[in-house]
Amino acid sequence: MFDGIGIVVWRLRERREEIVREIFARVCEAVPDATGERDTEYVEGLRAAVSAAVDFGLADIERGQASSSVAVPAVASEQARRAARAGVSLDAVLRRYILGHTLLWDYVMEEAERVGQDGALREMSRLQAGVLHRFVQEVTRAYGAELGRAGRSREQRRAERVRALLDGAGAGDRVDPELGYDLGAEHVGVIARGEGAVQTLRGLARTLDRRLLCAAQGEGTIWAWLGGRCGIEMAALERALSGDSRAGVAFAVGEPARGYQGWRLTHRQAQAALVVALRRPRLLTRYADVALLATALKDEVLARALVEIFLAPLRDGRGNGNGGGGGAVLLQTLRAYLAADCNVSSAAPALGVKRKTVENRLHTIEELLGRTLHPCPAEIEVALELEEIGDMPTFVQEGGSFEQ
């Protein structure tokens, strides 16, 4: 049996996804910075930290006491270190935690009042204050430790210069004196993740006869550019990566672009590709292959609209007549049809059914969607990919933009 506080916590956990989504959106809106636009891992880390803080706070309330023996979630400490590396101020980091705590407390009060547990609010308030105090202490410690570790090393200065250039502090299409890299060249932006990423990038640059610019972003993540005076063939880059036997290194890659503005743009594209790569790990995730999916993953309204418009009518299973099959069958048929390049004859054996059955199902799909599949809208493919990833976006992109 639940006691009064237990009922409140249970109801809050039932609303967990909504709470995390709302807190994340509000802290990004209320305490904006430009880091999210240039650092996908920072945004993902912030979302994970919000989620962990909500779980941690509810667990403390449920225990009925603030336990100092339970460590603050490691993702919060790592996000504090990431913020220090990214140049996000400690003030902004702490303001976000304080705001998040306030918003969570609003939900606690709402549920307590709904179930008539107003009398327990004082005890729950005491516990939440203890949670906030421990988070502030640990985040401040981790942030300070990262600043002390990084100091003003050559690598740190390089990373700071790269971030400044990405923010628009460049002097045009020329060799940057601090980086020794020609910003007027043809560039391909790369984000490499995994142990041995730098060595792999150096080998790739030698293979392709490109100048390499690297900027470490914490352990295991490298922002890089491959530059040259002539254009780079993406097919050659893909072959070089697939031929590298180094395990555990994955790449998110932008498209070729020229000049200083192109240098910024191709990195931004690599960041967008990383949004997909973090959810669907592969050796190589190229922006051109995932541009629409990456956009949807950064826009919750768009993502939910695509799924609602193109998949929800099929999931309802209203297509049982006319050879349609239930919702799961219709979705399976649609996936096979797209995988077969919209060829019915190729999709039929893949599904183990007759051609006529596939045609009937596709006709049912068109009726349910109220649109033709000839040609198949790209939005349908994106909606299916969103469902396949299984991680509907619960965040909004932070502020800041690059001039293009």
pLDDT in tens, the chain (404 residues): 356 778 888 899 999 999 999 999 999 888 887 666 678 888 899 999 999 999 988 887 777 655 556 788 999 999 999 888 888 889 999 999 999 999 998 998 888 888 776 666 676 777 777 788 888 999 999 999 888 776 556 777 888 889 889 988 876 788 888 888 999 999 999 999 988 888 889 999 999 999 999 998 877 899 999 999 888 888 888 888 876 656 678 999 999 999 999 999 999 999 999 999 999 988 999 999 999 999 998 888 888 899 999 998 988 765 444 454 578 899 999 999 998 988 999 999 999 999 999 999 999 999 899 888 888 888 898 999 998 887 554 433 333 333 33
What pLDDT score does 322 carry? 45
What pLDDT score does 318 carry? 55
Listed in order, strand segments (DSSP E) in 194-344 are: 211-216, 221-228, 250-253, 257-258, 284-286
What pLDDT score does 241 carry? 81
Kindly state the tokens that stand for 334: 């649609």
What pLDDT score does 133 carry? 85
Question: For residue 305, how far is the Cα from the chain centroid?
Answer: 19
Q: Residue 96: in which H helix or E strand, if any?
A: helix 90-114
According to DSSP, the residues that pair with 187 across neighbouring strands are 227, 257
Pairing of strands 186-193, 221-228: antiparallel
What is the chain's percent helix, strand, coil content, to nearest 5? 60, 10, 30
Kindly state the tokens that stand for 293: 């999916």
What pLDDT score does 103 carry? 92
The architecture (CATH level 2) of 185-297 comes to: 2-Layer Sandwich (3.30)
Amino acid at 2: F
Phi, psi of 277 (to 5 degrees): -60, -35
- Triad 329, 331, 336: Cα angle to 5°: 95
DSSP 311-332: THHHHTT---STT---HHHHHH
Q: What are the Cα distances from residue 276, in Å, to 21, 242, 254, 307, 381?
A: 19, 19, 13, 17, 14
Domain locations along the chain? 4-150, 185-297, 301-389
Fold match flag (4-150 vs 185-297): no
Whether the pTM exceeds 0.95: the reply is no
CATH topology of domain 4-150: Globin-like (1.10.490)
What pLDDT score does 38 carry? 74
What pLDDT score does 3 carry? 66
